[in-house]
Amino acid sequence: MELKIKDQLIRLYESHFNEEVSFFEQLPVSGSYREYARMKSASHQVIGAHNQDIKENIAFLEFSAHFRNKEIPVPTIYAISPDQLSYLQEDLGNTTLFDFLTKTREAEGFSGKIVTEYKKVLRQLPRIQLVAGKDIDYSVCYPREAFDKQSMMWDLNYFKYYFLKLAKIPFEEQALEDDFQAFSDYLLAVDNNAFLYRDFQSRNIMLKDGQVYFIDYQGGRKGAMQYDLASLLYDAKANIPEAEREELLEFYLDELSQYKHVDREKFKSLYGGYVLIRIMQAMGAYGFRGFYEKKEHFLKSIPFALKNLETLLAKNTIQVPLPELLKVLKAVTESSFLKSISPENERLTVRISSFSYKKKIPKDPSGNGGGFVFDCRAIHNPGRYLEYKHLTGKDPQVQEFLETKSTMADFLAPVFSLVSNSVEVYLSRKFSNLSVSFGCTGGQHRSVYAAEKLAEYLKNNYPVTVVLQHIEQDKK
pLDDT in tens, 269-296: 899 999 999 999 999 999 998 898 877 7
Same domain, yes or no: 223 and 323: yes
Of the listed ranges 294-308, 313-327, 415-429, 437-451, the least confidently predicted one is: 294-308
Q: Which of 287, 321, 339 is the last residue of a domain?
A: 339
Q: Which of 33, 57, 90 is the last residue of a domain?
A: 90
Apex CA 197: angle with CA 77 and CA 191, to 5°? 140
234, 275 Cβ separation under 8 angstroms: yes
Same domain, yes or no: 218 and 334: yes
Which one has a higher pLDDT value, 292 or 228?
Answer: 228
What average pLDDT does this structure show over 80-105? Answer: 95
Q: Which of 397, 382, 386, 374 is nearest to 442 (CA)?
A: 382
Residue 345 scores a pLDDT above 50: no
Which one has a higher pLDDT value, 65 or 2?
Answer: 65
Whether the CA torsion 422, 424, 430, 433 is positive or negative: it is positive
Q: State the chain's mean pLDDT as an integer.
A: 93
Same domain, yes or no: 249 and 354: no
Q: Which of 26, 56, 90 is the last residue of a domain?
A: 90
- Which pLDDT value is given to residue 342? 55
Instruction: Give percent of the chain above pLDDT 90.
Output: 79
What average pLDDT does this structure show over 217-245? Answer: 95
For residue 229, give its domain range.
97-339
Q: Which of 439, 147, 180, 461 is nearest to 297 (CA)?
A: 461
- Which pLDDT value is given to residue 462? 87
Same domain, yes or no: 416 and 361: yes
Q: What's the total number of domains in the chain?
A: 3
Phi-psi region of 435 (alpha: psi -120 to 50; beta: other; left: phi over 0): beta
User: Where are the alpha helices (H) located in 257-395, listed in sequence order?
Assistant: 264-286, 302-315, 323-334, 336-339
CA 337 to chain CA centroid, Å, is 26
Same domain, yes or no: 57 and 82: yes
Residue 133 scores a pLDDT above 90: yes
Same domain, yes or no: 285 and 138: yes
End-to-end CA distance of the chain: 40
Q: What is the pLDDT of residues 136-163, one digit of tens each?
A: 999 999 999 999 999 999 999 999 999 9
Same domain, yes or no: 234 and 107: yes
What average pLDDT does this structure show over 429-455? Answer: 94
Ranges assigned E (strand) in 28-99: 35-40, 45-50, 77-80, 86-90
Same domain, yes or no: 327 and 359: no
Residue 55 scores a pLDDT above 80: yes
Q: How many CB atoms lie within 10 A of CB 270?
A: 21
Query: To which H or E segment does residue 6 belong?
Result: helix 3-17
CA 139 to chain CA centroid, Å, is 27
Of the listed ranges 133-142, 201-210, 309-318, 407-416, the least confidently predicted one is: 309-318
Q: What is the pLDDT of residues 369-406, one digit of tens each?
A: 679 999 999 999 999 999 999 999 999 999 999 999 99
Same domain, yes or no: 290 and 160: yes
Instruction: Give percent of the chain above pLDDT 70.
Output: 97
Q: How many CB atoms lie within 10 A of CB 410?
A: 11
CA distance 84 to 395: 37
Task: Look up residue 130 and give its DSSP letter.
Answer: I
CA distance 25 to 39: 7
What average pLDDT does this structure show over 330-358? Answer: 83
Longest dimension (CA), the chain: 75
Same domain, yes or no: 373 and 311: no
